Structures are given as C-alpha cells and as structure tokens.
C-alpha cells in the first residue's frame, strides 16, 4: 500500500531588526533554503513550503532557557502567553512544542522542562 510520510522541520535563527532591515536575514534564509532543497532532493524528498515568523523577544517575553537553551515564554512575565489574536493564534497551537512555557526560579529564567516539578510553570505541575 502506498503511503506518504510528511516530515515537519522547525528551526530558528536569531536576528535583529537591523539585519532584517538591511536584508542580511533574507540572504541567510535564501542560502539556507537553497541548501535545504538540494539536501532534500538527494534523499528523494520533496520540498513543499515553509513559513517564517518574527517574534519580538522582549514584547512576547520569549527567550532561551538559561539551562538548556530551549526557546520559552516566561509566563511569570507574560501569563497570557501569546495574545491569541489573529496574527499569533497559531503560536499557541502549531508552535506550542517549539516555544515552551517557562518562568523565573532562583534568579534564573528556565523552561518548563528545567523548572522544578513544584513550580507553577514546571512541566509536571
């Protein structure tokens, strides 16, 4: 029986507003996309589409966990997570496992996996 395997790939680039304004980010992404297409073809995989989202780290309280570097939303600073308005609603669904919940603990900003179990935003809480 014929089947189709669909693979989703998520990654992130750190960039600045200035790099975006100067098109430096666009050049990096274009180079990456072309190299990715070549690699996919090597394994007889088909490139279908991609989506790039820009998240303002400070505005959304998104940062890297100080222990494991996973992307997280500090829910102590942003208890509503993403605002669930039109532009951001998919960030609470499709991207939920990419940008984890997290919070502050003993002076560190930690993701839900690195927070103690008893912490309000800890993984098992």
Q: Please give the Cα distance from 119 to 60 (Å, whole number).
A: 21
Q: Is the pLDDT of residue 39 over 60?
A: yes
Q: Is the pLDDT of residue 70 over 80?
A: yes
Q: State the greatest distance between any 2 C-alpha atoms of the chain, in Å, as a whole number.
A: 55
**Residue 54 pLDDT:** 80
Average pLDDT over residues 89-110: 78
pTM recorded for the entire structure? 0.72
């Amino acid at each position: 029986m014929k089947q189709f395997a669909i693979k989703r790939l998520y990654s992130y680039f750190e960039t600045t507003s200035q790099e975006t304004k100067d098109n430096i980010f666009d050049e990096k992404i274009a180079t990456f996309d072309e190299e990715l297409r070549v690699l996919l073809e090597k394994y007889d995989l088909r490139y279908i589409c991609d989506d790039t989202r820009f998240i303002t780290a400070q505005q959304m309280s998104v940062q890297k966990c100080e222990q494991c570097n996973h992307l997280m939303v500090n829910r102590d600073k942003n208890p509503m997570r993403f605002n669930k308005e039109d532009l951001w609603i998919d960030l609470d669904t499709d991207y939920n496992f990419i940008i984890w919940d997290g919070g502050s603990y003993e002076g560190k900003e930690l993701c839900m996996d690195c927070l103690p179990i008893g912490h309000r935003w800890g993984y098992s809480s």
